[in-house]
């Protein structure tokens, strides 16, 4: 459930605010907290919207793989908003929900293919500070996906880090979008 953000949510005012509110309610049922917080700095919000729209058009890498990668980043960083929203988006985009709900415990789960495991390992390795990406995982992904898809996956994971770390730093938490769709709860990440 949502808590208190570190920067208070802004009231979405004016014609732009009314438009964003209307679109948000139509798409999500409410205004996502990252939008309400970022409303304080419209240039940052517009950048976030623009980069998100452009990244949605990328099509060299499988959408399921990118979804699993983003959720693996969110799980590792601890962004409950991104993890819940990713699961909600997987539902809306017709992606594999059985696998999406298992991402937080992907290492223990038996539902993932070796390629999907490599993608989530790569996402976590990119997310570590400093990054711990190995030549072996990169080579396996290059062989399986090709250069265009690996470049896209890498950029997508970098954007996931931008979003998850921003939301976590701002205190944005899950708004339970997935629960509103009656999706089964996400698996819980193993503590080992």
Residue 96 falls inside a structural domain: yes
Q: Which pLDDT value is given to residue 188?
A: 86
Query: 52-90, pLDDT tens digit by residue?
Result: 999 999 999 999 999 999 999 999 999 999 999 999 999
| Gap between the Cα atoms of 9 and 14, Å rounded | 16
DSSP class of 104: G
Contacts of 150 (CB under 8 A, 6+ apart): 61, 138, 141, 142
In a 10 Å sphere around its CB, with 0-12 CB exposed, 13-18 middle and 19+ buried, how is residue 19 labelled?
exposed
Residue 24 falls inside a structural domain: yes
Residue 49 falls inside a structural domain: yes
Residue 8 falls inside a structural domain: no
Residue predicted with more confidence, 128 or 189: 128
The band of 1, judged by pLDDT with boundaries at 50, 70 and 90, is very low
Contacts of 5 (CB under 8 A, 6+ apart): 33, 36, 37, 170, 171, 172
Average pLDDT of the residues in 143-168: 98
- What percent of the chain is modeled with pLDDT above 70? 97
165 φ, ψ (degrees, to nearest 5): -70, -35
Exposure string (b/e) for 72-97, b if CB count within 10 Å is 16 or more? bbbbbbebbbbbbbbbbbbbeeebbe
Count of domains in the chain?
1
Phi-psi region of 109 (alpha: psi -120 to 50; beta: other; left: phi over 0): beta
Q: Which pLDDT value is given to residue 28?
A: 92
| Gap between the Cα atoms of 37 and 145, Å rounded | 37
Average pLDDT of the residues in 106-119: 98
C-beta neighbour count of 135 within 10 angstroms: 7
pLDDT at 138 over 70: yes
Residue 121 falls inside a structural domain: yes
| Gap between the Cα atoms of 74 and 7, Å rounded | 20
Residue 39 falls inside a structural domain: yes
| Domain carrying residue 85 | 14-180
Q: Are 170 and 5 in contact (CB under 8 A)?
A: yes
pLDDT at 190 over 80: no
Residue 192 falls inside a structural domain: no
Residue 4 falls inside a structural domain: no
pTM for the model: 0.93
| CATH number of domain containing 54 | 1.20.1290.10
């Amino acid at each position: 459930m949502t808590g208190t953000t570190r920067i208070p949510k802004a009231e979405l005012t004016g014609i732009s605010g009314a438009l964003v509110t209307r679109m948000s309610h139509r798409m999500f049922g409410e205004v996502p907290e990252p939008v309400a917080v970022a409303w304080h700095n419209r240039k940052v919000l517009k950048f976030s919207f623009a980069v998100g729209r452009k990244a949605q058009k990328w099509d060299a890498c499988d959408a399921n793989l990118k979804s699993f990668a983003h959720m693996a980043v969110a799980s590792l960083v601890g962004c409950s908003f991104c993890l819940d929203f990713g699961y909600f988006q997987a539902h809306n985009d017709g992606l594999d929900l059985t696998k999406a709900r298992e991402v937080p415990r992907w290492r223990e789960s038996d539902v993932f293919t070796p390629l999907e495991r490599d993608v989530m390992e790569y996402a976590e390795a990119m997310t570590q500070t400093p990054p711990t990406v190995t030549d072996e995982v990169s080579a396996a992904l290059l062989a399986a996906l090709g250069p265009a898809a690996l470049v896209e996956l890498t950029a997508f994971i970098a954007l996931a880090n931008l979003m998850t770390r921003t939301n976590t730093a701002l205190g944005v938490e899950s708004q339970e979008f997935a629960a509103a769709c009656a999706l089964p709860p996400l698996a819980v990440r193993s503590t080992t």
